[in-house]
Each structure stands twice: as structure tokens, then as C-alpha cells.
Amino acid sequence: MAEGMIVQTVDFKQLFTEKDWFSKLKKLVENPETRKQFVSFVRSEAFIGAMKQAVMTEDGRKSIVSALKDATVRTAMLSNFDSYTVRWAIGDLYNSPDGQKVMKELIRPSGAKAVLDIVKAMTGTKLSIDEIRKDFGHYKKKEDEGIHARPERLQWLREGLSSDAKAKDFMRELETDEGKGKMVALLRSQEIRGAMDDMMSTKDGRRRLAEMLKSKAGLEILESAMRTPEGVNVVGYLWNMPNGKELLKENMINPSGIRALYKIFGYQGRFNEMEEKLKKVPQVAR
């Protein structure tokens, strides 16, 4: 920086309320000095609030989409994914009805690079277990904790994905109505997260579980399970846990994996919309 040069102090929170703020933000991020200010902003809780406010308007959503599609601005945000403020601001796009309107734009072909970079940031950022639990707890839906799986049903799943040969027969069973019903019930149980941890502890286990999730039957099962908070929470657990992130990194950052993720984004959006509608239903006094 030239000696004596005055660097403007940018009010990014105010900027995010202005019309077409992306165009102004892009110019600021391209400047090394104001980029530093932007990095400080995204690492503060003010960034979460600014994004929540922006996503509520059509013009704000348009700027968010443009910002995430732009490599320079996107990198400035995602390179700070170690800060919970960035993770939660991006997570709100996945977990809120207004945010899902942004996601619907991003999952078009023109937004594929943005989605891929978000997944890479999510899977490649190393976090402490305390941070991971904080993230999961932040987005965890209130669920029915009384739903439990019988030991023999858990053994059915573990045994079914214990080898490639057994997985072929297991996948054929999941194509039946009975198999789908058993798997949906398992995904809603309190014990499923522990079973998934066990299966995801090895690379082969992660691969077989990913193949199940990406299959036609697997996606139909997720579509049904994710009509419930328990099913949504299982997917959130997968996204957040270290071995779940390894599963995504190893098996989902490819054309078939991204196609599956797009469908799962849609299931999440449908649940968010349903949840929002229920909030607006007047409660009957008892």
C-alpha cells in the first residue's frame, strides 16, 4: 500500500442491505486491503445476521447467488469455513425456506462449481469434535426420541453392508417395499447414528454406505425418511461427523454423488417448507 494512502472503512452489514450489493462487494474483495476487512466481517456474527436479512428479499437472494457463483467472492467466504459464522451462514441457506430459494438457483448447471466448492469446504475443513457437535446441535430438529430399533434390525443393516457380496443382496432387498420400510424405520431410530459411526469407520464401509445412499432405492428411502425430523437429523449427522465428511469426500464429489446431493437438497427444502407451514397453523386451545 502506498505511504499515506487512506483505506476506506467499509460497513459490510449496511452494504448487504443495498440493492445489487454483490457488484459493490466484488470490487471491494478484489482490493487486498478491503478484502481483509471483509474477512474480518465474515468471521463475525454480524455476517450471519446480514445473510439472514439479505435472504429475505428477492434482490438480496439474487446478490447471494451471484456472490456464491463468483470465484473471487466465493473463495473469500469459503476459505474461512473454519469459522462457525461462515458455516452457519451457509448452513442457513440449506436449512431455511428462504435459503432454499438460493439453493434452487445454485443447483442449476451454472451453479455447479459453487455447490462443489461448498461441499469441498465442508468436507475439507478440519474441526474439533466440540465444534462439530456445536454445528450439529445448532441445526438438529426436535425429534421423537422414543423411536428405537430392535437389535436384530441393526444387525440386519450391519450384516447387509459388511461385504461387497452381501451388499448386492442387501441392495436387492432394499428395492422391495418391505426392505424400504425397514430401512426408513431404522433411519428414524435413536440407534442409527451409532450404527452409521461403526460402518463409516472403514473406507470400504463408507464406500458401501455411499453406494446405498446414491442408489435409486436409497434415494427413495431418503425421500421418505426426510419427511420426518429424525430422517433430516440423520442426514445432518452424516454431513457433520468426521467419518461422514470422509464418506462425502471419497464417494460423493463425482457426477453420481453430486446428482444424489442435489436430490437430497430438494428433500431438505421440502421438509423446511412443511415445517414453516406448520408454524403458521393456529394452535387450537385445549
Predicted confidence at residue 208, as pLDDT, reads: 97
Together in a domain, 120 and 35: yes
Query: Which of 99, 129, 159 corresponds to the end of one domain?
Result: 129
Full-model pTM: 0.85
pLDDT of residue 180 exceeding 80: yes
Q: What are the pLDDT digits (tens) for 218-250? A: 999 999 999 999 999 999 998 889 999 999 999
Predicted confidence at residue 4, as pLDDT, reads: 46
Predicted confidence at residue 17, as pLDDT, reads: 96
Predicted confidence at residue 1, as pLDDT, reads: 45
The 3-state DSSP class for residue 55 equals coil
**pLDDT level of residue 282 (50, 70, 90 thresholds):** low
Give me 154's grid cell: 441393526
Number of domains in the chain: 2
CA atoms within 13 A on the CB side of 37: 16
What average pLDDT does this structure show over 18-22?
95
Task: Give the Å distances, CA to CA, from 168 to 103, 175, 198, 247, 257.
Answer: 34, 11, 20, 19, 19
Predicted confidence at residue 5, as pLDDT, reads: 52
What average pLDDT does this structure show over 19-26?
96
Query: Which of 64, 94, 129 corresponds to the end of one domain?
Result: 129
Do 89 and 47 form a contact (C-beta atoms < 8 A)?
yes
What average pLDDT does this structure show over 71-80?
96
Together in a domain, 120 and 155: no
Together in a domain, 158 and 273: yes
Sequence-distant (≥ 6) Cβ neighbours of residue 1 within 8 angstroms: 7, 33
The boundaries of the domain holding residue 94 are 12-129
